A and B are shown apart, each in its own frame.
Chain A
């Protein structure tokens, strides 16, 4: 049962091969059995899930069931879920019960899906290894001594180990795609503005976007169709209606032009990863895609610009945690300043504090132009590179991550090294483009992901290419041993 995709599970429910209650119990059992080894979940909402499953079964009896009624999913623990702890993997919000649902959560509830719990992540979505969680690191199901990537590492590990058919995630600089690559899952980050950010705990508001970790591009298309669209509660969502992303999945890719940015295939790129990507390119070529080299001259300046812009926005967004209105409050403050300073110092982890300090510094007078404005200028150059590239190609292909999953603890002391994990994903967030990571093969028994970047609001195209690739390969069907 757990090997089935959402498309197949929906079929099974509609054919009455099993009930929603049975399906929910089945996945809850898998979570309870395997989560202790993975630490992928922070909260398991067993009681709420079983109630929702019974309600879903009634919908089937009454003939009001929708396509996705009864499908179990999980939410990254920064989506507000009414009445359920929403911690952002921080001591700061360990006691926070969300007062309302995020728009993504209410849309997926409305579509009939059932949430089985909240997944682990890097604290406030800051990290690329999931080692920055207040609740401890997540383990990669392909090798429990390695990281699953981050920040959506809990969602990725849970989907990779088939504890849940799909999970939501968010991506500010690669937080969906990099863990997808490291765990052999499919991860999509839509165009900025495609999906509402309302009720998602903010990290860097001009970069954050919600998306999905799934087993297949087809499942991603199904769920994204339900999630996307205008939301009056998020003024940055676009008014243009989202299409049904499943409609174009099977389109031919004959004649489609795929650009390879030379900058994303540097000489020092791991040759084993390059070989995997080359094989994927041959596959796409065999379906008629035309591969051509392109240039993105400023793309390698993405990481420096990102590590100015993201901390700047983070320091501003995280100023709301004052120890007073909600969240952690220190014991026995002597005055108001002490209440602020100690509540924040005692409840934020090291990485979060680092980024708040960097953000505060680059926004302070005297440094603003040299750092923040310069980073925003670089951001424009990167965006212009992509706009120009899309005049001659339909999609852009790169490795998702420069490495496979690394050992727990191996990069946590070396910030600059950790930051380079997102070297191929960060420029996409700076430009605001849609992008998907899909399984492309293995190196030394560890998964390798390839990234497809689409033009603005052209999620359909990258989902189409990803689906066609998955129809012709079975990398995405590989399951880590011990979780079969």
Chain B
């Protein structure tokens, strides 16, 4: 990955990475190259991927209410909340005109 590709990846992951910091992340290339080489030694064309060790079926529960409303209690953990709302920077700019 080039520095620009790393920056793009960081943006996808919602991580701010400055130009000075890019250097720190270039070893990702070496790690990816190494794991790919080792894994590709094996022909796996007939192997099914395994995503979970136990391969159990998802358990279902009856569709009934089990939890009570704890909104205010849980919102105590937010840095900025008011009127039972989480507050964030304005998302829709004011005076939006059709251009």
Which A positions have Cβ atoms within 8 angstroms of B? 95-97, 99, 192-193, 206, 232, 235-236, 238-239, 298, 301, 303-305, 307-308, 315, 319, 322-329, 333-342, 344-346, 348, 350, 353-354, 356-358, 360-362, 364, 370-371, 373-381, 383, 415-416, 430-433, 456
Residue pair A378, B51 in contact (C-beta under 8 Å): no
What are 5 sample pairs from A and B whose C-beta atoms fall under 8 A apart?
A99-B73, A192-B53, A238-B54, A325-B86, A373-B49
Given contacts A326-B77, A381-B44, contact A432 B58 (CB under 8 A): no
- List B contacts of A354 (CB < 8 A): 25, 28
Nearest chain A residue, comparing its CB with the CB of B51: A376
Q: A-side binding surface: helix, strand, loop or mixed?
A: helix
Given contacts A304-B34, A371-B32, contact A432 B15 (CB under 8 A): no
Nearest chain B residue, comparing its CB with the CB of A304: B35
Residue pair B13, A315 in contact (C-beta under 8 Å): yes
User: CB-defined interface of B1-14 with A at 8 Å, one 1/0 digit per residue?
Assistant: 10000100111111
Residue pair B10, A357 in contact (C-beta under 8 Å): yes
Residue pair A335, B89 in contact (C-beta under 8 Å): yes
- List A contacts of B58 (CB < 8 A): 235
Which of B28, B38, B41, B80 interacts with A329 by CB under 8 Å?
B80
**Most A CB atoms within 10 A — which of B61, B89, B91?**
B89
* Cα separation A333 to B27 with both chains bound (whole Å): 30
Q: B-side binding surface: helix, strand, loop or mixed?
A: loop
> Is residue B39 contacting chain A, with contact meaning CB distance below 8 A?
yes
Which of A97, A341, A430 interacts with B77 by CB under 8 Å?
A97
Residue pair B40, A374 in contact (C-beta under 8 Å): yes
Residue pair A358, B32 in contact (C-beta under 8 Å): yes
Residue pair B9, A361 in contact (C-beta under 8 Å): yes
Q: How far is the CB of B37 from chain A (nearest CB, A)?
A: 8
- List B contacts of A315 (CB < 8 A): 13
Residue pair B47, A336 in contact (C-beta under 8 Å): no
Which of A232, A305, A336 interacts with B61 by CB under 8 Å?
A232
* Cα separation A370 to B32 with both chains bound (whole Å): 11
- List A contacts of B40 (CB < 8 A): 374
Which of A235, A336, A357, A415 interacts with B6 by CB under 8 Å?
A357
Q: How far is the CB of A208 from chain B (nearest CB, A)?
A: 11
Given contacts A238-B54, A377-B44, contact A370 B36 (CB under 8 A): yes
